Amino acid sequence: MNNGCDNVSHPLFTLTSRSAMTPRHSSPRSTSGRRHTARALDMTVSAALSLVLLGGAATAAHADEASPGTATVTAHTATPSPAPVPVQHPGVNARLVGTLDKKDGEPASTSTTITWHIEATNTGDVTLKDLNGSHTDLAPGETTTHLFWQTKLTQEEINAHTATFAANLSATTPDGTPYNSPTLHGSLALPVEHPGVSARLVGTLDKKDGEPATTSTTITWHIEATNTGDVTLNNLNGTDTDLAPGQTATNGYWQTKLTREEIDAGTATFAATLSATTPDGTPYNSRTITGSLTLPVQHPGIDGHFTGVLDTKDGEPVTAGTWITWTAELANTGDIELSTIDGIDVALAPGETTDQFSWRSQVTQADLDAGTVSVSKTYDATTLAGTRYTSGAVTGTLALPAPAERPRLSGEFEGHLELKNGEAVKVGTRIAWIAYPMNSGDVELRNINDTSMALAPGQPAPYYQVRAEVTQADLDAGSITFSRTFSGTTPLGTRYSTPFTGTLTLPTGPAAG
């Protein structure tokens, strides 16, 4: 020991010995007593060092000549530090991209669908699991583009030229913590407005029956205007009338006076335009609309149109074969009374109308494919003087509701002669007619040809084979045409059938080896 401080360090303890300490009491004490006190302290320190250092160099002998002092033992407990728990930082960088699902040049309407695809990149440091419940996991740095939503355009969006959509991404981190992204906003600029109007002018003479047409006779020209564009037309011709896409207005009219030239020609004419503004304030002017009116110069005349009504019950789908009742509204546009129309007594005075003529027709598959049914018919009339008159075509169009089902089977027969090498075709030679039906419609077809077979849309059936034999008539004709009807039932119970045909040209010589 020295007269200063000796420090002994150990991972568990630090031992400090301080000498030449000032005694607490100043009274004289014998040297032997102080030596005894120092030795006792040294023994204590030596014992502590022996325990700590387990046989180290610091022993009681080293402390034998030490000066009086004090010893301090400080214990250090080595507690292991807990492993730090990594902090998760989930994050996503995403955007919504909208696409109009329509053909090029087709106007956007409220039936147009927008597909909103999301482009999402994991910008965090943990995998995002089960994105939006899609079973899709997104590792850090990875990008996905297969999530999407679909919406329908609204008239407000069409008017504003912009469609918008908002969505969120949800997921869980590997430790099960839910994660929700900030709200994502997407916008899609819509195509330029396409205002349009289809219109016609209908003129009516404002005179009493039998009264001659003169230069003082007034003609009222009513306009029937249909908005054929994709935006609303506001303030038609300065009125408070707004015309939405597909809507028709008949409340506009003009009045003119007959001229001598029109009376001499037997026809009055008029031209007009329609003006309006689109929702964004753009002025719109239609093409010139012309109308003509044949004047009643003692000539019979019939004009009119058909109105069609589907004969279906509520909820019943329209299919090929559905009946339509057409009612004709006919007007005597001549200047002489009509006594009969199509053999029926009517006594129809000039300017009067009748709706007692109706007939029925059936919807065809072509009508279903087109989405509309149109009719055209002429009427035979007889005047009071016995003169026969045939009207122009009276037409009508009925829009069909979108069919719930479009069943279709496609295919044809291929004929194969069963001949041995060198054998010639003769009466009785067997023919194998093979067809490969395919469901080319948009609904499942069941009970194909009254079997348990069911075909999903786009699914082909196993080959269908029919055997036949060559007849003398086939040999005389040099070819054979074969036909069979294939049928199936839709999920709504509609029975669909269509013929499959095939033609086989018969060889004139023996079969090749």
The enclosing domain of 370 has a CATH number of 2.60.40.1470
Residues 391 and 306 in one domain: yes
Rg (CA), the chain: 50
Q: Is residue 511 part of a domain?
A: no
| Number of Cβ within a 10 Å radius of residue 138 | 21
Name the nearest CA neighbour of 497 among 510, 483, 487, 512: 487
Residues 311 and 392 in one domain: yes
HEC string of 234-301 equals ECHHHCCCCECCCCEEEEEEEEEECCHHHHHHCEEEEEECCEEECCCCCEEECCCEEEEEECCCCCCC
Residues 365 and 330 in one domain: yes
Q: Is residue 512 part of a domain?
A: no
Q: Show which of 189, 210, 229 is a domain's final residue.
A: 189
HSE (CB half, 13 Å, CA atoms) of 237? 13
In this prediction, residue 385 carries a pLDDT of 54
Question: Per residue of the chain (513 residues), what is the pLDDT tens digit?
Answer: 444 344 333 333 333 333 333 333 333 333 334 333 333 334 333 333 333 333 444 343 344 444 444 444 444 555 666 666 678 899 999 999 999 998 765 677 888 999 999 999 999 999 999 999 888 899 999 999 878 899 999 999 988 889 999 999 999 999 999 999 999 999 999 877 788 999 999 999 998 876 667 788 899 999 999 999 988 999 998 888 899 999 999 878 899 999 878 877 889 999 999 999 988 778 999 999 999 998 875 678 899 999 999 999 887 888 899 999 999 999 999 877 888 999 889 888 888 999 989 989 999 989 988 889 999 999 999 876 567 889 999 999 999 987 667 899 999 999 999 998 888 999 999 999 999 999 999 899 999 998 999 999 999 988 889 999 999 999 999 999 999 999 999 988 889 999 999 999 998 866 555
Residues 178 and 230 in one domain: no
Residues 244 and 328 in one domain: no
Residues 220 and 237 in one domain: yes
Residue 345 to residues 253, 357, 489, Cα–Cα distance (Å): 34, 11, 47
What pTM, to 2 d.p., does this model score? 0.31
Collapsed DSSP state (helix, strand, coil) of residue 124: coil
Residue 393 to residues 330, 379, 396, Cα–Cα distance (Å): 11, 8, 10
Q: Is residue 349 part of a domain?
A: yes
Q: Is residue 81 part of a domain?
A: no
**Phi (first) and psi of residue 38, to 5 degrees:** -65, -40
In this prediction, residue 48 carries a pLDDT of 37
Across-strand partners of 248?
Answer: 226
Q: Which domain holds residue 366?
A: 298-404
Residues 302 and 289 in one domain: no
Residues 250 and 304 in one domain: no
Tokens 């147009």, located at residue: 112
The enclosing domain of 150 has a CATH number of 2.60.40
Total domains in the chain come to 5
Residue 403, C-beta contacts closer than 8 angstroms, at least 6 positions apart: 317, 318, 319, 368
Residues 216 and 149 in one domain: no
Q: Show which of 157, 189, 221 is a domain's final residue.
A: 189
Across-strand partners of 100?
Answer: 114
Q: Show which of 386, 404, 422 is a domain's final residue.
A: 404
Q: Is residue 400 part of a domain?
A: yes
Residues 400 and 302 in one domain: yes
Q: Are 447 and 488 in contact (CB under 8 A)?
A: yes
317 DSSP assignment: P
In this prediction, residue 315 carries a pLDDT of 75
Q: How far apart are CA 40 and CA 33, in angstroms?
A: 11
Structure tokens at 451: 């079997």
Structure tokens at 123: 């910008």
Which alpha helices (H) appear in 73-229, and where do they start and end? 155-160
Q: Is residue 282 part of a domain?
A: yes
Q: Is residue 53 part of a domain?
A: yes
Residues 422 and 495 in one domain: yes
Residue 407 to residues 312, 365, 371, 441, 449, Cα–Cα distance (Å): 20, 10, 15, 5, 14
In this prediction, residue 304 carries a pLDDT of 94
In this prediction, residue 300 carries a pLDDT of 84
Residues 124 and 49 in one domain: no
In this prediction, residue 251 carries a pLDDT of 79
In this prediction, residue 34 carries a pLDDT of 39
Structure tokens at 298: 């003692």
Name the nearest CA neighbour of 150 among 189, 100, 110, 102: 100
Q: How far apart are CA 513 and CA 508, in angstroms?
A: 15
Q: Is residue 390 part of a domain?
A: yes
